[in-house]
Structure 1
Amino acid sequence: MKTMSFSQEESQVKIRFLPGTALAALPTDIVRAVAVVGRRRALPVYFSGGAVRDWVLGRVPADLDLTIASGALDYARELAAFLGAAFVPLSTAEGVARVVRGAFNLDVSQFREGTTSIEADLSLRDFSVNALAVAFDCNSQTFADNGRIIDPLDGLADIDGKLIRQAYPQAFSADPLRMIRAYRFQAALNWCVDQDTSEAVIRQAHLIRQVSGERIAAEFDLLLTSNLAYQSISGMAETGLLFHILPELQSAIGLEQPSSHHLDVFGHSLETLRQIELIVRSPENFFHSLTDEMMLYLQEPRQKIRLYYAALFHDLGKTITSDDKEGRITFYNHDEVGVGLFLNIARRLRLSNEDTRRIGQMIKQHMWPFHLQNAQIRTGVTPKAILKLGKAAGDDLVGLFILVMADSLAGQGPGKPMGMEEGVAALFDTVFSAYQGQIKPLIAAPLLTGDDLIQEFNLTPGPVFKRILDGLLEVRVVTPEMTRAEALDWVRDYCCQEEKSL
């Protein structure tokens, strides 16, 4: 991507300016609306926070932050009406509101905590790199004061140094969520968290328990959509912040594994997350074919987030099921147990039902392909086995194999069998091709339905319908040429056998 310089520096006083052309990349009707409403209210208007940071970095802001001295809610309400946009009050007490126009957000805030100047307001922001502002001339609809960047906390120097530094010593106690946000910015920008800021997180990590699950989950969503989730989650673990958010993971530290692994359970979970990041970036480096299908799957909203959660929690059940059988470490049914532990986390973070179901399903099924891989080596994979896995995994068959590949790559102990990753890739080719090409068409065009069972056999709807139709489908995947007449004969035989067993 071509980088544009939006700043110039006066060497003696180190003042930087944004050129008026920086505004040209924004929707013109939004810039005009900000100016018109500002003129009506006769209040100074400032562009602030992340928008200014992005301009300094040569980026076009995806959203805007506006700051005015007072009356932010009234300003935002009028701005929304002018644009025909939605008005969303975020905090009536603090005077913060959002104007939503399509995918574009304008957050409007007033000077916080009784401050009376933009400099004092900026000094109460979360991080120095966000404590930046530029005054807006509502008459000329361009930057005021030649675009001088207001920078009371040397945030520009931290941008140059690629540092995330808390704006003031009480920044985290004022809003503990900012601790997660530090690592979210680290992931989004590929910067470092300042040493003093890291130490502040260590001292105050326990305060994160005051924050609602919804707010924590929202920050995690933003962190997990970056390309550096592993790096930031690891940083949160090093400061202890992660274990105040997800205490279930702490029991995985130091929990030994069999010789096929080189890391303890927690280290393995982090490594699985790192491997998933690599696979998501370049699936063609790990799978033989069908990478277009993988990319299509990953384009669906929230797929990366679900995969990253599944990676982090896939072995959580090992903390409960760990056992030593005559010197042999075992984790029987850790996949099943892990789902229960994850459901507690999902409830605490208020994850959606859809996310909870799909993440939990991948956790529950992550050992299934490994068992199937062993069967493939011994006897080959049967159509019936592919049917069962495909139906169980549903829309996440691709995601399940991405998780399994990452899980395999994350275990590199001396006792690991050779060729595991090659086997996973080959199994995925076999399962996905057969399920999509041969089995799904049979599911989509059943020979018999529940209505047929009622009309032809006078059966009463109930659990037996599922047993009959599922059993018939299992026969069809082996003998796809089966006719409707043969299907009726099969059901007739099935019913006879059922009667005999009663």
Structure 2
Amino acid sequence: MPDPDDPLAAPALLARAQAGVEKLRGFLEPLARQFAARGESLYLVGGPVRDAMLGRLGSDLDFTTSARPGVIAEILGQWGEKTWDTGIEFGTVSTVKHGQMVEVTTFRADLYDGVTRNPEVTFGENIEGDLVRRDFACNAMAIELSLVDDALAPSFHDPVGGLNDVLRRRLDTPQAPEVSFRDDPLRMLRAARFVSQLGFAVSDRVFEAMREMAPEINRITVERVQAELDKLMLGQRPWEGLDLLVDTGIAEHILPELPALRLETDEHMQHKDVYRHSLTVLRQATELEEDGPDLELRWAALMHDIGKPATRAPKEGGGVTFHHHEVVGAKMTRKRLRALKYPKHVIEDVGQLVYLHMRFHGFGEGQWTDSAVRRYVTDAGELLPRLHKLVRADCTTRNARKAQRLQRTYDHLEERIAELAAKEDLARVRPDLDGNEIMSILGLSPGPDVGRAWNFMKELRLERGELPREEAVAELKKWWEEDNG
């Protein structure tokens, strides 16, 4: 980003936005021509304009127009490849063309009742009235796609100073933040999302309004809160967005386990508190991602220590312990993600990662037996690659030698996994005898006894590895005799 105090900085940002539009000229010009033929104006608006200034214009394009919804639907139906009108009652019609997602909305002039967040949908008459009602000034800029001699001639509209906010990487509201957040409290959560996605900081007045109005977030449905949290968690700097939610008190209403960590000092006394440690682990986990943002890994990194407040106990000789915090934390994690209405597979995966994150620390250097390796891999299952990243991210000690030793020890574990995997199919560890064989050998009918016998054989397989059939049969019979003797 250019120096905000440089007089050439603002023109440079504007030029960058115009260059982004120019690259899409072949795409935008025919669309603008369709609206102009109906006597309607068309504007590229909001996030795409901001992102073009930041050099990150994507494939989702938002437009606003003077045209009413029926006209938009007719135009996009002819121009687009596939069109959706599920939002037409709110003035929005969507389409896709050449891989670009396009959403066009009639100018809005909504009124809010201040109780729910559902507006009385009212269509506006001009671009300025539409822009001033948007969430943040940096999202309240538009580029008019006007035509001169049938050629695209873009012009810039910025009635509330959004360009200056982008230049200063600031989040501020077009109206007083109290008015904006009372209209739609979700905007407070959206502020934290933009902090994560864009690296912007909220203005002082926005911060104060968020802190004073934090309870208003309870007016928002859980589904919409979850959707914003997802976007925040998948941003470039989620720890900064979460920090804003905690500092303003909003997290107390939607993720209370997180601010609760501020009360605890971790057992190594290396971090100000477990809260800061958790944000550090989240940051380090994102640095280990290989194929883009991983929502489940990030949630596990954030929540891995939330069981510590409930398990805190004084340690003889000073300090504190948090025995079995991973067990308690896994239960708390599942409960919170259920409350946020996450899908079952996300709840289970994140909970299991939290449950397993301390398993590695139960073994000293060089003490990974074949049995321990099998159990580690089997318990992690498909989550093993994520567990590797989570455990490595959790090594946050400031003691350089200790950090290197922990990483070497985990290197050794991964080497042991690879060595054993070369000999055995660790991803599919099964008892040497299946249920039908167990019933035949012991003369059993289907029932609980078969399940107990199968579990014994599974434990035997984990402990001793694959056995010859004769030995497996002998061990099963011996166990059965002792169990029923």
TM-score interval (norm. to shorter) = 0.7 to 0.9
Report if the CA contact (8 A) 1:87-1:100 is conserved: no
Aligned twin of 2:389: 402
Aligned twin of 1:83: 80
Q: 1:395 to 1:442 in 2, by over 3 A?
A: closer
2:424 & 2:445 partners in 1: Cα distance? Answer: 28
Aligned twin of 1:215: 224
Report if the CA contact (8 A) 2:198-2:236 is conserved: no
2:403 & 2:146 partners in 1: Cα distance? Answer: 67
Aligned with 1:381 (options 368, 375, 390):
368
Aligned twin of 1:237: 246
Cα shift readout 1:384-432 (whole Å, capped 9, x = no counterpart): 22222211111112222322222231x4489x96755235423442453
Identify the range of structure 1 (343-352 vs 68-77) with the bigger mean alpha-carbon deviation.
68-77
Q: Secondary structure at the match of 1:249?
A: helix
Q: 1:142 to 1:463 in 2, by over 3 A?
A: farther
Aligned with 1:358 (options 349, 353, 364):
349
Normalized against structure 2, the TM-score is what?
0.83
Aligned twin of 1:472: 457
Cα shift readout 1:275-301 (whole Å, capped 9, x = no counterpart): 323333xxxxxxxxxxxxxx3xx55xx
Aligned twin of 1:61: 58
* RCO comparison, higher one (Cα < 8 Å, 6+): 1
Aligned twin of 1:43: 40
1:108 & 1:265 partners in 2: Cα distance? Answer: 45
Identify the range of structure 1 (212-221 vs 101-110) with the bigger mean alpha-carbon deviation.
101-110
1:164 & 1:403 partners in 2: Cα distance? Answer: 32
Root-mean-square deviation over aligned CA pairs: 3.6
Q: Report the alpha carbon displacement of residue 351 of structure 1 after superposing the two structures with TM.
A: 1.0
Cα shift readout 1:444-482 (whole Å, capped 9, x = no counterpart): 686433233344544333454454445435544666563
Equivalent runs, 1:8-407 vs 2, <5 Å: 22-23=20-21, 25-26=23-24, 31=28, 34-35=31-32, 37-38=34-35, 41-72=38-69, 75-76=72-73, 79-80=76-77, 82-90=79-87, 92=89, 94-100=90-96, 104-113=100-109, 114=122, 115-137=124-146, 143=152, 146-169=153-176, 170-280=179-289, 295=290, 298=291, 304-324=294-314, 327-371=318-362, 373-374=363-364, 376=365, 380-407=367-394
Report if the CA contact (8 A) 2:381-2:427 is conserved: no
1:127 & 1:251 partners in 2: Cα distance? Answer: 30
Partner AA of 1:75 in structure 2 = I
Aligned twin of 2:406: 421
Q: 1:407 to 1:19 in 2, by over 3 A?
A: closer
5+ unaligned residues in a row in structure 1: which ranges?
A: 4-8, 281-294
Aligned twin of 1:433: 418
Partner AA of 1:348 in structure 2 = A
Report if the CA contact (8 A) 1:318-1:334 is conserved: yes
Aligned twin of 2:114: none
Q: 1:256 to 1:161 in 2, by over 3 A?
A: closer
Report if the CA contact (8 A) 2:371-2:464 is conserved: no
Report if the CA contact (8 A) 2:267-2:322 is conserved: no
1:478 & 1:14 partners in 2: Cα distance? Answer: 66
Q: 1:74 to 1:429 in 2, by over 3 A?
A: same
Identify the range of structure 1 (333-342 vs 131-140) with the bigger mean alpha-carbon deviation.
131-140
Identify the range of structure 1 (417-426 vs 262-271) with the bigger mean alpha-carbon deviation.
417-426
1:208 & 1:57 partners in 2: Cα distance? Answer: 30
Q: Secondary structure at the match of 1:309?
A: helix
Q: 1:259 to 1:98 in 2, by over 3 A?
A: same
Q: Report the alpha carbon displacement of residue 195 of structure 1 after superposing the two structures with TM.
A: 2.6
Q: Secondary structure at the match of 2:474?
A: helix
Q: 1:205 to 1:11 in 2, by over 3 A?
A: closer
Aligned twin of 1:450: 435
2:203 & 2:105 partners in 1: Cα distance? Answer: 27
Q: 1:343 to 1:102 in 2, by over 3 A?
A: farther
Cα shift readout 1:178-220 (whole Å, capped 9, x = no counterpart): 2222232222222332233222222222222211222222222
Q: 1:13 to 1:222 in 2, by over 3 A?
A: closer
1:171 & 1:224 partners in 2: Cα distance? Answer: 24
Aligned twin of 2:4: none
Identify the range of structure 1 (173-182 vs 78-87) with the bigger mean alpha-carbon deviation.
78-87
Q: Secondary structure at the match of 2:95?
A: strand
2:130 & 2:392 partners in 1: Cα distance? Answer: 49
Report if the CA contact (8 A) 1:15-1:148 is conserved: no
Identify the range of structure 1 (269-278 vs 417-426) with the bigger mean alpha-carbon deviation.
417-426
Report if the CA contact (8 A) 1:317-1:334 is conserved: yes
Report if the CA contact (8 A) 2:146-2:154 is conserved: no
2:393 & 2:475 partners in 1: Cα distance? Answer: 42
Q: Secondary structure at the match of 1:89?
A: coil
**Among the aligned pairs, what percent are the same residue?**
27
Q: 1:491 to 1:180 in 2, by over 3 A?
A: same
Q: Report the alpha carbon displacement of residue 48 of structure 1 after superposing the two structures with TM.
A: 0.9
Partner AA of 2:336 in structure 1 = I
Aligned twin of 1:285: none
Q: Report the alpha carbon displacement of residue 442 of structure 1 after superposing the two structures with TM.
A: 7.9
Report if the CA contact (8 A) 1:37-1:75 is conserved: no
1:333 & 1:13 partners in 2: Cα distance? Answer: 58
Partner AA of 1:173 in structure 2 = R
Q: 1:81 to 1:333 in 2, by over 3 A?
A: farther
1:186 & 1:316 partners in 2: Cα distance? Answer: 23
Partner AA of 1:388 in structure 2 = R
Normalized against structure 1, the TM-score is what?
0.80
1:102 & 1:453 partners in 2: Cα distance? Answer: 59
